[in-house]
């Protein structure tokens, strides 16, 4: 077997144009690091991340590629100029260094004079990591204080695009700061949105009209329901500045909603009157959607639109008959639901007609001998030796990675309007609890304890058949209170359903083998 020729990794990161001017440019960092690496007389490879903050590591593609190459055993050492180039969060930094150590890869930060191949370097890395996090916290507080001060002075903060306004240089400012002025064309659209809403139009109707008229957002994209809601909710358009609505947005997003935000009169021109904005706020409170009945739309999030392929969401219509009003539930395209006819069409499918057919077909697929054979063969061919430390660690890593993917899928479903905020919160709590459980087991394993107990995998075809039969029985339940369980189960075991012929209800069902395998492997086996 040929020996892998390991290389030294050079990692460089620049987070802003300001850093380019302060000597942190790609060229400056690379030149300095290459000069150091040449002394090692070893080949090197450069990994770069540009315009990326050091606070979060999950969006840094250069670092992600580096760590993958470390896992593959292609790297012997990692060089950076400063500790903060790698991570500003102490926990992230120590996790990265631990992952490097696990693969027998040393780490050097040349400006900080840290080398983890030495005992002193190992001690210093922990201490320096804490200082890096402290520095980050100070910067955040200073930035937050500056933004709050500008807000209280009635000045706009931030640099992102604002529909209805343009950012221009404030010639009256000694520091040459930016100010916002009304974009007349976009401002007229904002006024129309407020007028339509006060005139009885809903979010979807407004979205549909704007998109059909060819109006686009600041980023030249279709309007969505959430875009309209954000505009109607923003006091900026009434001449006011709101600050502090969300705290720690980069981490908590909308879950960081704060009740301590401030609203002050701004120095910019208003597009709508304060009276109109107040009326809109009152109407938005009155028109808040009631939570959809739990478990009503069991195929939402897996059923695909037959036209554009996007996931379908639940909707309902009401109409009068001679016997009184009737409410009918449908699955409709989420793109149509959020952006109107310009994006797609409703392509409505009646819930009462499609649900029983889909459940019957899923159950039939679960009970097929072919599926039993496929799952059984996969398990027997890919079983990991759970009794070894490496086997246990690998299993835990797989499960943690799986929860991470599931979290991304759930967040995506919420963004597309496929699940409510409360359903999102519930799903994220479940994912968090399971992830923390695996992480706890992982740390116990790392510390060398024997607390992780595992049994040899003695899975039989009978176990697989029994598991699939149990799932099939749950799917066929007619009990209304069990609908939520059916919905959750479908989301776990079905990745996608495509309607291939609407008139004959022909459909292509794609199962999620990962979740079924997990269920089988964690199911009590038959006594041998």
Alpha helices in 164-295 (DSSP H): 184-198, 203-212, 225-233, 249-252, 274-286
Contact between residue 295 and residue 481 where contact means Cβ atoms under 8 Å apart: no
> Among 456, 470, 443, which residue's Cα sits nearest to residue 379?
456
Helix or strand run (H / E) with residue 78: strand 75-80
Is the CB of residue 208 less than 8 Å from the CB of residue 196? no
Which token pair is 165? 């306004």
**523 vs 62, 350, 466, 516, CA distance in Å?**
40, 36, 10, 11
Q: Which two tokens stand for residue 240?
A: 């006011």
Which among 15, 106, 332, 334 is annotated as catalytic? 15
Tell me how far apart the alpha carbons of residues 271 and 332 are, in angstroms, rounded to a whole number. 35
Q: What is the DSSP letter of 257?
A: B
25 is annotated as an active-site residue: no
**Can you read off the two tokens belonging to residue 502?**
């609407």
Tokens of 389: 């430390």
Closest CA to 47 of 32, 66, 75: 66
Distances (CA, A) of 504 to 271, 393, 499, 507: 52, 48, 9, 9
Q: Is 167 helix (H, G, I), strand (E, B) or coil?
A: strand
Task: Read off the DSSP letter of residue 110.
Answer: T
- Residues classed as catalytic: 15
């Amino acid at each position: 077997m040929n020996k892998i020729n390991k290389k030294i990794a050079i990692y460089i990161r620049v987070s802003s144009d300001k850093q380019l001017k302060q000597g942190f440019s790609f060229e400056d960092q690379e030149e300095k690091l290459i000069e150091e690496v040449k002394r090692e007389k070893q080949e090197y490879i450069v990994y770069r991340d540009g315009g990326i903050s050091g606070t979060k590591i999950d969006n840094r593609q250069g670092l992600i590629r580096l760590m993958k190459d470390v896992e593959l055993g292609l790297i012997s050492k990692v060089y950076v100029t400063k500790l903060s180039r790698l991570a500003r969060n102490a926990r992230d930094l120590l996790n990265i260094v631990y992952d490097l150590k696990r693969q027998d890869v040393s780490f050097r930060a040349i400006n900080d004079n840290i080398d983890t191949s030495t005992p002193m370097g190992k001690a210093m890395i922990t201490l320096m990591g804490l200082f890096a996090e402290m520095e980050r916290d100070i910067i955040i507080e200073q930035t937050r204080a500056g933004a709050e001060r500008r807000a209280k002075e009635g000045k706009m903060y931030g640099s992102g695009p604002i529909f209805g306004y343009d950012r221009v240089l404030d010639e009256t400012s000694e520091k040459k700061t930016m100010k916002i002025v009304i974009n007349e064309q976009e401002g007229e659209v904002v006024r129309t949105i407020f007028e339509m809403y006060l005139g009885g139009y809903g979010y979807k109707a407004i979205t549909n009209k704007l998109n059909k008229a060819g109006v686009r957002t600041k980023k030249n994209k279709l309007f969505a329901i959430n875009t309209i809601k954000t505009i109607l909710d923003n006091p900026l358009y009434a001449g006011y500045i709101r600050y502090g609505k969300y705290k720690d947005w980069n981490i908590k997003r909308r879950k960081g909603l704060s009740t301590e935000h401030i609203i002050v009169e701004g120095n910019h021109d208003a597009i709508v009157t304060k009276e109109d904005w107040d009326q809109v706020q009152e109407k938005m409170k009155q028109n808040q959607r009631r939570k959809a009945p739990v478990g009503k739309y069991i195929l939402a999030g897996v059923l695909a639109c037959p036209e554009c392929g996007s996931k379908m969401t639940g909707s309902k219509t009401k109409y009068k008959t001679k016997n009184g009003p009737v409410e009918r539930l449908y699955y409709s395209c989420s793109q149509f639901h959020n952006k109107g006819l310009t994006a797609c069409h409703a392509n409505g499918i009646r819930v009462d007609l499609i649900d029983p057919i889909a459940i019957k077909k899923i159950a039939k697929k679960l009970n097929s001998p072919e599926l039993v054979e496929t799952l059984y063969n996969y398990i027997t061919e890919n079983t990991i030796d759970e009794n070894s430390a490496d086997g246990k660690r690998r299993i835990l890593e797989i499960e943690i990675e799986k929860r991470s993917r599931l979290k991304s899928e759930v967040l995506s479903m919420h963004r597309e309007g496929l699940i409510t905020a409360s359903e999102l919160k519930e799903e994220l709590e479940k994912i968090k609890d399971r992830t923390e459980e695996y992480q706890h087991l992982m740390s116990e394993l790392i510390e060398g304890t024997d607390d992780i107990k595992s049994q040899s995998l003695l899975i039989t075809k009978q176990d697989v058949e029994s598991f699939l039969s149990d799932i099939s029985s749950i799917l066929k339940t007619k009990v209304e209170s069990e609908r939520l369980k059916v919905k959750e189960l479908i989301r776990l075991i079905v990745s996608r359903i495509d309607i291939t012929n609407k008139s004959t209800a022909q459909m292509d069902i794609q199962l999620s083998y990962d979740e079924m395998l997990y269920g089988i492997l964690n199911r009590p086996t038959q006594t041998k």
